[in-house]
Amino acid sequence: MIDAITEGPMEEKRLSVGEDGRDIAVLTRPGAAPGVIWLGGFKSDMQGSKAQALDNWAAQSGRQATRFDYSGHGQSSGRFEDGTISRWLEEALAVFHDITSGPQIVVGSSMGGWIALLLAKALREADEADRLAGLVLIAPAMDMTETLLWDRFDDAARREIKEKGYYEQPSDYAEEPYIFTRDLIEDGKAHCFGEAIIETGCPVHVIQGMLDTDVPWTHATALMERLALDDAVLTLVRDGDHRLSRQQDIDRLIRAVAEIGKR
């Protein structure tokens, strides 16, 4: 169920997702195809600098643009601690199907990069691959719950997750710690690509900072090996960190999206 709140070039909408009716906040801008849809990262929201820069570019280019907050994030309902990859993927698919129209360039940042790849897989399985014009992935945290979290946790952290059901890790980006739950880790296993080949059926551009301590640049090169059947490009930013939110990084992102948009 969709409820429009305001009218104008940028529309605010609410989308009810799942059996529990999660209330998802969406910002969408009408325009030409291919449009662009933003998938944010773990504990980030749709008001970040990269998401807003994409929207500004879409407005200037006359293109459709969509961004939203996962449940437990930003303006959407729910507790962050209840979040899992399954829930956030379900929300991404709901926004994609109910809000956007025509081919889309999916831009995913960090965890959003993993969800973008899972969204592409779901579309191919549903014979909707023609809805994907391309993927632009920023420090994509593919298989994050396994390779970037569980495999890197020490024994004490793993014990807390097993016994308490969650582990709190200090964040480099906020005063509050990150909370990683047992449900998040266990649910993520069902979505891991592992060593399998990933076929999106569309152009893919990966942008990765080499100073990224959250998603090592070698993680991006491993992903490129999985994308052996796609038209895939990897840009390594030698002095780039995980956020890649400097003006030169944002300019690089916009160029990647614009290039795919011209195809």
pLDDT tens, residue by residue, 149-208: 999 999 999 999 999 999 999 877 777 888 999 999 999 999 999 999 999 999 999 999
What 212-217 contacts at long range (C-beta under 8 Å, 24+ apart), as own/partner pairs, is: 212/139, 212/240, 212/241, 212/242, 213/241, 213/242, 214/110, 214/139, 214/141, 214/148, 214/242, 215/110, 215/139, 215/140, 215/141, 215/148, 215/242
Portion of the chain with pLDDT greater than 90, in percent: 92
- Do the Cβ atoms of 71 and 19 come closer than 8 Å? no
The helix (run of H) or strand (run of E) holding residue 121 is helix 111-125
Look at strands 63-68 and 32-39 and give their pairing: parallel
Chain segment 25-51, per-residue pLDDT in tens: 999 999 999 999 999 999 999 999 999
CATH number for the region 2-142+194-261 comes to 3.40.50.1820
Domain locations in the chain as residue ranges: 2-142+194-261
- Cα–Cα distance for residue pair 98/96, rounded to 1 Å: 6
Q: What is the pTM of this model?
A: 0.95
